[in-house]
Chain A
Amino acid sequence: MNEALLRSLTPSVLAILVRRGADFAAAEDAVQDALVEAVRVWPADPPRDAKGWLVTVAWRRFLDATRADAARRRREDLVDEQPAPGPAPSADDTLQLYFLCAHPSLTPSSAVALTLRAVGGLTTRQIARAYLVPEATMAQRISRAKRTVSGVRFDQPGDVATVLRVLYLVFNEGYSGDVDLAAEAIRLTRQLAARVDHPEAAGLLALMLLHHARRAARTAPDGSLVPLAGQDRGRWDTGLIAEGVEILQAALARDRLGEFQAQAAIAALHADAPTTEETDWVQIVEWYDELVRLTDSPVVRLNRAVAVGEADGPRAGLAALAALDASLPRHAAVAAYLHERDGDPATAARLYAEAARRAPNLAERDHLTRQAARLNALGRR
């Protein structure tokens, strides 16, 4: 059985239940039950109409749960067996679910969890494992999120940008459970980009594909990080790169530039270069200038300093760096890199060690420590 296909039906099935008048939280539980049932039953007895099967089973579950609820409250207001003829499901019901699950009233972690469950069709256990929290905690996070959005009207127009931020988080953060979060983020973004006329949705999809293409080359067999310059470019996935570039070019042609398109453009220039030296750093700096204009983010300025160091030499990079706050995350790492390129290994070694102490994750800390150790060993020779 194709689990991805099953999960891709999740949002439309859920939307049908909500359109029929089920409240979102109860409908979402019912759809989860139906998914579990499908995994159990389908291998031996595959349905002819997968979606119709899911809708029937989920609706029955919803009615059962509502009845059990009503019985517990000793009420007799029986729910009608036949679904009320609600408005016909529209083509962008799935889109409405994206908006609901990324609603601005939700915290980022709640929006991520709810999106993965209600739109992605993942189980609470899978989501809990992906974020290394107990299943009970994740269950609470999800049910709180559902309560938070319970008053939101389903057909309200939402903000695509909010959804994109949530999908970006799914792609970028999380651990490795039995779910590949990066692949899941790509699937959900692809599904979204097919539904909205929004260059930034395409931009984010392109960005994800271009980064995903390099994934195998980013890690050595022992799990350590391989920086861009040291990556075996033969291991980059050329199919994903071609797809990412094509999507990006179509988006850029719309002439509505945004942050994700600009980031994807930088990733595309890296993906296009046969070596670090042959990379078009001048154009990369220009894209960083666009990004600074779009975001005014100090992190972007920091990354720009690295690109300037490659385009115009390490002195120029250090000059760009000098204008920035030294307490920025990864400031010391960038300074170390530029000082080494400038022929000052002693300063670089000291800064790499400092950067390692401030590193936000283990792989980066180990990488920076190794850089410091390499330069210190050179100094002893």
Chain B
Amino acid sequence: MAKYLLLKHYRGAPAPANDVPMDQWTPEEISAHVRYMNDFAARLEETGEFVDGQALAPEGTWVRYDGAGRPPVTDGPFAETKDLIAGWMVIDVDSHERAVELAGELSAAPGAGGKPIHEWLELRPFLAASPTVTDCPHR
């Protein structure tokens, strides 16, 4: 019982094997890709492992505090930002092995030519709730 975040990047991930930008695919290939993603999420709901999935727009704004009584400062987007997150899926699984297995499956989503993209996905464990019986005796 552990939650993991599967992160999909617009940029910043290593190049995938089937590295053709989506706007160069055929409309059918795009449909097949979207269907694969939806089916994957539906299957996870069935197995009782799905928590959340969202996609993000590529454009974002940087915001920061600018002192009391002043409106926040906004800036960007910065083109040089190396890492750009495209979306995520949160899963709740029994083991790290299962999380890796599912990430591998998601990475097989079809792209150009109907072939798997082999896209690199980032797999990040959530920090868990604090256990009641601690393993550490000096606590």
Which residues of A are in contact with B by a Cβ distance under 8 Å?
A: 107-110, 112-113, 131-134, 136-142, 144, 168-169, 171-175, 182, 207, 211-212, 215, 218, 225, 227-229, 263, 266, 270, 284, 299, 302-303, 306-307, 329-330, 333-334, 337, 359-365
Contact = CB atoms under 8 A, between A and B. Distances in A.
B138 A337 contact: yes
Interface in B5-51: 45-51
Given A133-B50, A141-B49, 8 more contacts: A139-B48, A168-B133, A171-B132, A207-B133, A218-B139, A303-B135, A333-B136, A361-B130
Contact of B138 (A136, A306, A361, A364): A306
Nearest to A299: B135
B50 to A, nearest CB: 5
Contacts of A361: 127-131
A139 B139 CA distance: 36
A330 B139 CA distance: 12
Contacts of A364: 130
B127 A365 contact: yes
A172 B1 contact: no
B45 A136 contact: yes
B94 interface: yes
Given A171-B132, A227-B139, A266-B137, A362 B127 contact: yes
Given A131-B92, A365-B127, A172 B48 contact: no
Given A108-B1, A171-B132, A360-B128, A229 B138 contact: yes
A330 B135 CA distance: 9
A110 B92 CA distance: 11
Contact of B133 (A211, A329, A333): A211
Contacts of A215: 132
Q: Which of A137, A175, A182, A227 has the most CB of B within 10 A?
A: A137
Contact of A132 (B3, B48, B135): B3
Contacts of A112: 1
Nearest to A210: B133
Contact of A172 (B93, B94, B131): B131
A189 B127 CA distance: 28
9 contacts: A140-B46, A141-B47, A168-B133, A173-B132, A266-B137, A270-B137, A307-B137, A360-B127, A361-B128
Which residue of B50, B92, B131, B139 has the most chain A CB atoms within 10 A of its CB atom?
B139
Contact of B50 (A134, A175, A284): A134
B139 to A, nearest CB: 5
Interface in B85-139: 92-94, 127-133, 135-139
B127 A109 contact: no
Contact of B47 (A108, A140, A363): A140
A212 B136 CA distance: 16
B135 A174 contact: no
A303 B136 contact: yes
Contacts of A207: 133
A369 B55 CA distance: 33
Contacts of B3: 132
A364 B130 CA distance: 7
Contact of A228 (B93, B94, B131, B137): B137
A94 B122 CA distance: 45
